[in-house]
């Protein structure tokens, strides 16, 4: 099953990090977020990727073209151009399509362009700026059971601010806001039937607007509730959260060995 990753946004809220690269190329633990996502999906047996590119598409293309060399030790004979991998056949068994979907194309338009390049009846889709430990096997099984056109992973948003409990001017409690108080939000990690194409009109259409609204109105959208780890990377603070998790050696999304 192909996995489409939306990797073309400008990432304006991470402007310090995305001036010269797209947000999915911002690193966590020395590796682009994009690499973490592909490693995650490949763990579940899904290693055929379509990267929907836009902002600084050249950076992603260059990374993909050089991924083998960047991931291993090698010897390069400069006279012949022969490249010898010193770690044996240690390359990632991935197939990666770098699809330039336009600089200003919205998420729905990027998905539309990707779907029109393939004939698959069912695909996965996610955003290139968030990590999770969602069980992809269970997610796909849930999608197949309900028989609708689209499944979105519903998550609880991580607390962004401390919560104050006040008695007059006195602070009686200070702590993190409970996720349960925030309701459910779109966490990405979609499973989609090809017929979703009928709900996508053009490049200027965000997936999160009319397409998902129409799918819901037609009873063609279901949610897979994920109560485990989910973390976007919209701000420098959120990047630091991911970095700290990786540095701890117990990053929840690192399901591969």
- The Cα–Cα gap between 108 and 90 comes to 36
Is the Cβ–Cβ distance between 190 and 154 less than 8 Å? no
Taking only the tens place, the pLDDT of each residue in 213-235 is 999 999 999 999 999 999 999 88
Query: Does the domain formed by 3-156+183-247 have CATH 3.40.50.1820?
Result: no
> Residue 96: helix, strand or coil by DSSP?
strand
Q: What is the pTM of this model?
A: 0.89
Average pLDDT over residues 36-45: 98
Label residue 88 left, alpha or beta by phi (over 0 means left) and psi (-120 to 50 means alpha).
left
Taking only the tens place, the pLDDT of each residue in 156-195 is 887 765 666 666 755 556 665 555 556 899 999 999 999 9
């Amino acid at each position: 099953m192909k996995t489409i990753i939306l990797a073309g946004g400008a990432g304006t809220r991470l402007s310090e990090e995305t001036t010269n690269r797209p947000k999915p190329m911002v690193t966590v633990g020395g590796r682009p977020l994009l690499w973490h996502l592909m490693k995650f999906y490949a763990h579940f047996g899904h290693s055929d990727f379509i990267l929907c590119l836009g902002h600084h598409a050249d950076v992603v293309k260059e990374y993909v073209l050089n991924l083998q060399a960047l991931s291993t030790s090698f010897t390069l004979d400069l006279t012949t151009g022969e490249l010898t991998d010193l770690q044996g056949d240690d390359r990632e068994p991935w197939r990666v399509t770098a699809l330039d979907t336009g600089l200003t194309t919205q998420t729905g338009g990027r998905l539309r362009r990707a779907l029109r390049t393939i004939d698959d009846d069912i695909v996965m889709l996610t955003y290139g700026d968030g990590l999770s430990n969602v069980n992809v096997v269970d997610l796909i099984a849930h999608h197949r059971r309900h028989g609708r056109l689209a499944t979105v992973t519903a998550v609880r948003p991580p607390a962004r601010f401390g919560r104050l409990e006040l008695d007059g001017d006195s602070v009686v409690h200070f702590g993190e806001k409970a996720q349960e108080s925030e309701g459910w939000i779109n966490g990405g990690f979609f499973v989609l039937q090809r017929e979703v194409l009928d709900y996508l009109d053009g490049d200027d259409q965000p997936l999160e607007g009319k397409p998902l609204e129409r799918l819901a109105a037609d009873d063609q959208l279901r949610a897979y509730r994920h109560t485990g780890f989910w973390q976007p990377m919209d701000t420098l603070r959120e990047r630091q959260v991911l970095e700290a998790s990786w540095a701890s050696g117990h990053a929840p999304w690192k399901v591969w060995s």
